[in-house]
């Protein structure tokens, strides 16, 4: 039993390393987005981002435990982040009244949110169509 656990991820090591990098990038970038929303004092979007992040971590755990549908679910969660970001930049951002004191200026929002939208859009495409990610999900892996 211990031998099976030790050699679990050696079958597709390159694919697993690639997918781990994607998962760690998501975990770091998602927490940065949540922090930036908090520092910009956009509390309702902060709460929504927390719910989105929790859902993405649940889908990520299912994907790492060899659940095939969780790869598509994680891609949909990434696409939801991209769609929410585009909606925010087009509808919400122009109507924001700047607070008197905020930790970060509101003029920085289009820059970091645009890059985040692009990153999560590319991440969703990778999750859906990349063969290395599919093989890593079929093998199962851990983040460390």
Task: Give CA–CA dist 45/92, Å, rounded.
Answer: 10
Q: What residues of the chain score a pLDDT lower than 70?
A: 1-11
Domain ranges of the chain: 13-139
Residue with tokens 């985040």: 116
Q: Are 75 and 86 in contact (CB under 8 A)?
A: no
CA distance 127 to 75: 6
Residues contacting residue 61 through CB under 8 Å, at least 6 positions apart: 70
* R_g of the chain, CA atoms, integer Å: 17
H-type alpha helices, 40-107: 43-64, 68-87
- What is residue 61's predicted lDDT score, i.e. its pLDDT? 96
Number of CB atoms found within 10 A of residue 10's CB: 9
Residue 92 has a pLDDT of 95
CA angle 13, 130, 136 (to 5 degrees): 30
Q: What is the predicted pLDDT for the residue at 21?
A: 96
pLDDT of residue 7: 56
Instruction: Quote the CA–CA distance of 83 and 97 in Å, as a whole number.
Output: 22
Q: Does residue 103 sit in helix, strand or coil?
A: coil
pLDDT score for 71: 96
Please report the pLDDT score of residue 85 as a whole number. 97
Q: How far apart are CA 121 and CA 92, in angstroms?
A: 20
């Amino acid at each position: 039993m211990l031998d099976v656990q030790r050699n679990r991820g050696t079958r597709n090591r390159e694919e697993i390393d690639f997918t781990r990098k994607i998962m760690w990038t998501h975990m770091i970038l998602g927490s940065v987005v949540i922090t930036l929303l908090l520092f910009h004092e956009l509390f309702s979007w902060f709460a929504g981002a927390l719910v989105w992040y929790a859902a993405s971590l649940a889908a990520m755990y299912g994907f790492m435990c060899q659940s095939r549908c969780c790869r598509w679910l994680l891609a949909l969660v990434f696409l939801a982040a991209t769609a929410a970001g585009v909606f925010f930049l087009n509808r919400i951002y122009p109507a924001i009244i700047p607070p008197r004191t905020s930790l970060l200026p509101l003029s920085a929002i289009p820059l970091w949110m645009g890059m985040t939208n692009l990153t999560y859009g590319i991440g969703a495409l990778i999750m859906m169509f990349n063969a290395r990610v599919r093989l890593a999900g079929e093998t199962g892996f851990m983040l460390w």
